[in-house]
Amino acid sequence: MKLITAIIRPFKLDDIRKAIGDVGVRGIVACVGLIPAAFSTGIGSQVQRPLALVVVGGMLLAPVLILLVLPVLILKFSKAELPAEPARDVGQ
């Protein structure tokens, strides 16, 4: 839980939502543009279909990896320590 809190703490929730929205829309638009190539049956589709399916899969998986997995891996394997939490005054 500390790892997730350390990732999210420096950012505002609105910034995170905006980043997810931007990356998600780009991926969806690229996938929609390649749907005709992915389901084509005409001449040349033997070459286009596998390539289009790989690109569509990559465009759907890339935002998940970039926004969720990559920050966790960076914090896990970086030499820097997690930022210290500010001290709280319990007495008042």
Residue 47 counted as domain residue? yes
Residue 86 counted as domain residue? no
Residue 89 counted as domain residue? no
Q: Supply the pLDDT for residue 7.
A: 62
92 pLDDT higher than 60 = no
Residue 88 counted as domain residue? no
Residue 43 counted as domain residue? yes
pLDDT in tens, 40-87: 888 888 888 888 889 888 888 888 888 778 777 877 787 666 566 666
Residue 56 counted as domain residue? yes
pLDDT in tens, 3-21: 666 665 666 666 667 777 7
Task: Quote the tokens at residue 29.
Answer: 């638009």
Among 53, 33, 37, CA closest to 45: 37
Residue 91 counted as domain residue? no
Residue 30 counted as domain residue? yes
> In total, how many domains does the chain have?
1
Domain region containing 48: 2-9+16-76
